[in-house]
Amino acid sequence: MKSLLFLIVLLLPVRLMAQDCLGMPLKAGMGYEMQSFSAKDKPNGRMTYLVKDVRKEAGATVVEIEFQSFDEKDKSRQAPSRIKYTCTGNELVADLSGLAMGANQQTFKDSEMKIKANKLAYPRTLTSGQTLADGEMDADFYTNGQLMMEMSMRVTNRTVGPKESLTVPAGTFEINKVSADMEMKNRVMGIGIPASLKTVSYRAANQLFDIRAETYNKNGKLMGYTVLSKIY
């Protein structure tokens, strides 16, 4: 039996072993949970992120993650979707297409999504006063060849605040606040639905996801927030 177990270990694919992503050891099977709250601190759901694959591609580390969202009754809001992060050595680049597809899966469940722009990046090191590059995502949704919806998102004015300590259910972290403006527009059958938001992300150097994230309306009123609740 011991010999058999040893042989199985030897035959495990290399990608199951932890790989480095900007100093973060990641491997398939790792998971993260975020809890979401209203502006009045009322729990209204949670989100899970399960690492499905970590591999090397063209000198970069690619991390594929399964995302799922649950409501306040712990009922799944949508089918799981995929997110991809790429660690280039100098920055962490998020692929937002999986979130876009997941958010619109029920409305356009038989649709095809075509990505035109898709990038939100964080540098390896955050410094107080630093200005980060804009993020963007543009996607079109087609059903039977007909354009049904255009989705556009711009994240601008991304500025980094000073380092501070933050405690959440998952632990205590040294973080930098990243404040930004977000412009979103969904155009459905030619009718535009715009939204202007402000966001604050609390980023730690050794974590893939935000430790805390806050969303405000264009007038600066808090709409809701999420906190990192579990790392497993």
Residues 212-225 pLDDT 10s? 999 999 999 999 99
Q: Which residue has the tokens 């300590």?
A: 165
Which pLDDT does position 113 carry in this prediction? 74
Q: pTM of this prediction? A: 0.82
Using DSSP, state whether 230 is helix, strand or coil. strand
HSE-CB at 36 with a 13 A cutoff on CA atoms is 16
Could you tell me the two tokens for 58? 């063209």
pLDDT score of 49 more than 90: yes
Higher-confidence residue of 95 and 14: namely 95
Report all structural domains of the chain as residue ranges with CATH numbers, in order of start.
Answer: 12-231 (2.40.360.20)
DSSP lists the bridge partners of residue 63 as 54, 85
pLDDT score of 67 more than 50: yes
Higher-confidence residue of 192 and 108: namely 192
Q: Dihedral (C-alpha) 200, 62, 112, 79: value to the nearest 10 degrees?
A: -70
Higher-confidence residue of 110 and 65: namely 65
Mean pLDDT of the chain: 85
The Cβ of residue 12 has, within 10 Å, a number of other Cβ atoms equal to 9
Which pLDDT does position 106 carry in this prediction? 52
pLDDT-derived band of residue 107, with 50, 70 and 90 as boundaries?
low
Could you tell me the two tokens for 211? 């430790």
Residue in 8, 34, 30 with CA at minimum distance from that of residue 19: 30
* 133 DSSP 8-state letter: P
Distance CA(217)–CA(224), nearest Å, equals 10
Which pLDDT does position 108 carry in this prediction? 54
Distance CA(90)–CA(159), nearest Å, equals 18
In this predicted structure, which of 2-6, 125-129, 191-195, 212-216 has the lowest mean pLDDT?
2-6
Q: What is the 3-state secondary structure (H, E, C) of 200-215?
A: EEEEECCCCCCCEEEE
pLDDT-derived band of residue 89, with 50, 70 and 90 as boundaries?
confident
Which pLDDT does position 2 carry in this prediction? 36
Q: What's the whole-number mean pLDDT along residues 12-39? A: 78
Distance CA(80)–CA(69), nearest Å, equals 8
pLDDT-derived band of residue 98, with 50, 70 and 90 as boundaries?
low
Which pLDDT does position 185 carry in this prediction? 87
pLDDT score of 230 more than 90: yes
- What distances in angstroms separate CA 230 from CA 29, 33, 51, 85, 219, one per listed residue? 14, 5, 14, 19, 32
Which pLDDT does position 229 carry in this prediction? 98
Q: Which residue has the tokens 């992060």?
A: 85
pLDDT score of 4 more than 50: no
Distance CA(222)–CA(123), nearest Å, equals 27
Higher-confidence residue of 8 and 47: namely 47
Kind of pairing, strands 91-95 and 81-87? Answer: antiparallel
